[in-house]
Amino acid sequence: MQVQPLAIPDVMLFTPTVFGDERGFFMETFRQSEFEAYCGHYQFVQDNHSKSKQGILRGLHYQLEKPQGKLLRVTQGEVFDIAVDLRKSSPTFGQWVGVYLSAENKQVLWVPPGFAHGFYVTSEEAEFQYKCTDYYHPGDEYSLLWCDAALGIEWPLVGGQPPRLSAKDEKGQALAWADAPKF
């Protein structure tokens, strides 16, 4: 497996080695020892799976009291995946990194606790799977405004059309008003 730190070095992109032939393929998507060597010691406590249609934007979600680290991959379709550093003491506070995750490239993205996370579906539909380092706590989930000019995220909007958002995400806060997660 190849591991590449992104522009925010704590966010890591894993590219698995894929073994394939006429029957199909095999790949290892997670190995605890390799993950810890690059990302630190985290325990995953919850796995999630979502399916979304083209033009859906989910996020940018973050938690304050119980921040979640997320290990993310796409098993059908393609998404543009974003991580925003919300760690006030970080030299990259308020910066974002984005990558395309797809069933085709089979890449896995590590987004540590203390980041806001979101994705935009660029294919007709996408299935998204991820592991979390803490349980989902409905009262501890917040959203950054996806189009906050202070973030300057360059979303690859299909046909230039605005994304479809949940009611919660439509009410996302600007970075200037967002509280920082606790560690």
What range does the domain containing 123 cover?
Answer: 2-19+26-177
Question: What pLDDT score was predicted for residue 25?
Answer: 87
Question: What pLDDT score was predicted for residue 20?
Answer: 87
- Give per-residue pLDDT as tens, 55-78: 999 999 999 999 999 999 999 999
28's enclosing H/E stretch is: none
Measure the CA–CA gap between 111 and 145, rounded to whole angstroms: 18
Residues identified as active-site: 61, 130
Q: Is residue 182 part of a domain?
A: no
Q: Dihedrals φ, ψ of 160, to 5°?
A: 70, 10
Domain count, the chain: 1
Question: What pLDDT score was predicted for residue 87?
Answer: 93
Which CATH number do you get for residue 104? Answer: 2.60.120.10
The letter for the amino acid at 20 is: G
In this structure, the number of other CB atoms found within 10 A of the CB of residue 152 comes to 10
Question: What pLDDT score was predicted for residue 115?
Answer: 97
**DSSP-derived secondary structure letter, 56:** B
Measure the CA–CA gap between 18 and 29, rounded to whole angstroms: 10
Q: Is residue 61 part of a domain?
A: yes
Measure the CA–CA gap between 138 and 39, rounded to whole angstroms: 26
CA 162 to chain centre: 20
Question: What pLDDT score was predicted for residue 139?
Answer: 92
Residue stretches of the chain with pLDDT short of 70: 180-183
Q: Is residue 183 part of a domain?
A: no
Q: Is residue 144 part of a domain?
A: yes
